[in-house]
Structure 1
């Protein structure tokens, strides 16, 4: 159930933006006659605009299309992508959804671009993947100068120690915020201590490089599966000397 679609004249439409990112109102594509000419950005099958019972806007494939990975996404996946895009824009940066990399080498659920041109992919990973696959996809993004943060909801992910990742908790009701519950650490002076924060704050800190992926010291070359502030890394390094 994608949040984007393509129109032959207007280009990419983004259901998370008030003007769909192209200067159109939602009622110009939703329940209109004749139908808006919309297609999937991945499989090119025809699409139509829909709204969930809770009011979330999205695009759906017409019947009879191929099996498209975007069409298989759950409501929880869509809500997390929407929250990530909202947090990025709230921090003053550009957010683009369901972005394909050059020659289709990678796909980002949400791609943030800062004012300085720094790009960061946010991967809402709901399905099962291997640690090798997560590391390969992380390296593919890095080869195109794209940092990545893997985001998942609850549960255990065996790949988390090998890529920069966080675990988040969705709101219990619509008034509650999303929270980062695993993956952010601070240095106490003696050991690393986990910290829980609002997801919106974490996104802003990460894009402003106030928190960075935390690595083990050489010769181990993989992530510890988390993030911390640069000053904590410096403090921990001084203690090891």
Structure 2
């Protein structure tokens, strides 16, 4: 079953159109006494025009004559659902004011479009591909790339329930209602649902601990909108939206589970996504500035701590050097704590024992005479101490009075 053939006098014809695309009636080639000169565009074999009713469809198509050789048009394995979908796509594109042709091939044969829709001014061409058979993601991505290199837009249509390539190329899934209603687009189109905090200056909806990236304090709201699947709608409306440029294929940029997927969206949803994306960029610019400030403060604290530890280490080295030299030299005004042995009486700070201890530790200034030794016990020691006190002081000519013993 093919819809396009080559007429020996009128050239390429499209039997799905009432005028065959060349201004002639179907009756001029249908069941005539002399067979019409119709041949296949692929194998040049003779074709016959066939009329058949399939449900609500009034089908006109071409069939190869008997004993036809192998033909790519027949070997494509296109079933009835594939042919009906091509009829629908071409019909909806023509209803939108565009021209539509079946089986349009590239000049170099790199691609062949099931339906090629062309705008009235010829500025846009959209390949409407009915892909009912299974195909790998690599193959369909390569075919999409070839269309893009030829400046041809493309949309892939399928009725398969499991479609691994639906998120990788501009495509939609369709479904035919059982009661015979219009064909519906059930997947591949999306709508954006915006969501913002009440106060956009402070984000209070996100419960993720990593959103602030370790920054202390409140941050502005970056938006919490998500992409949602569009409700089913008629295929006719979708094809008309493609022709009027009301919907465009777009690789989603927002959402944990939808980012990077291809979806057909409208301009309004694109602007809502762009607003949230810009808010996300502004938020993380603020985060980067705050992180830079916190890193500088952290480095300053580390430098101060290292300087403090270096000072402590230098002090410990001086203490070790003093102990190796016979005494510990501490800064002026600091003393080593020493425990008083048990049973030893407490002495005053100005006594000879304290001065002797300080001199041993190196606390007395240089040039100062050593302290007097404590008097030995006994009466003779007491008398020597009294005689020493009776001696006149330096700079005084008057002798010191002798000590009187109250017992004499």
TM-score if structure 1 supplies the norm length?
Answer: 0.92
Match of 2:32 in 1: 32
1:169 matches 2:171: no
Alpha-carbon offset, residue 20 of structure 1 = 0.6
CA contact under 8 A between 2:252 and 2:263: conserved in structure 1? no
Alpha-carbon offset, residue 132 of structure 1 = 0.9
Matching of residues 205-216 of structure 1 within 5 Å = 205-216=241-252
Alpha-carbon offset, residue 192 of structure 1 = 1.1
Alpha-carbon offset, residue 233 of structure 1 = 1.6
- What is the rounded CA distance, in whole Å, between the counterparts of 2:271 and 2:176 in structure 1? 32
Runs of 4+ in 1 over 4 A off after TM superposition: none
Q: Give RMSD over aligned pairs.
A: 1.8
Unaligned runs of 5+ in 2: 195-224, 279-408
Q: 1:44 to 1:204 in 2, by over 3 A?
A: same
> Secondary structure of the equivalent of 1:205?
helix
Matching of residues 96-115 of structure 1 within 5 Å = 96-115=101-120
Q: 1:223 to 1:3 in 2, by over 3 A?
A: farther
CA contact under 8 A between 1:166 and 1:225: conserved in structure 2? no
Q: 1:173 to 1:19 in 2, by over 3 A?
A: farther
1:122 matches 2:128: yes
- What is the rounded CA distance, in whole Å, between the counterparts of 1:58 and 1:223 in structure 2? 41
- What is the rounded CA distance, in whole Å, between the counterparts of 1:223 and 1:36 in structure 2? 52
Match of 2:326 in 1: none
Alpha-carbon offset, residue 32 of structure 1 = 1.4
Residue of structure 1 aligned with 2:147, choices 119, 141, 145 = 141
**Whose RCO is larger (CA < 8 A, sep 6+)?**
1
Residue of structure 2 aligned with 1:228, choices 247, 258, 265 = 265
Between 155-164 and 143-152, the greater mean CA deviation after superposition? 155-164
1:56 matches 2:59: yes
Match of 2:8 in 1: 8
- What is the rounded CA distance, in whole Å, between the counterparts of 1:235 and 1:191 in structure 2? 10
> Secondary structure of the equivalent of 2:92?
helix
- What is the rounded CA distance, in whole Å, between the counterparts of 2:53 and 2:21 in structure 1? 23
Matching of residues 177-196 of structure 1 within 5 Å = 177-189=182-194, 190-195=225-230, 196=232
TM-score if structure 2 supplies the norm length?
Answer: 0.56
> Secondary structure of the equivalent of 1:162?
coil
> Secondary structure of the equivalent of 2:93?
helix
CA contact under 8 A between 1:171 and 1:177: conserved in structure 2? yes
Q: Which has the larger radius of gyration?
A: 2
Q: Give the number of aligned pairs.
A: 237
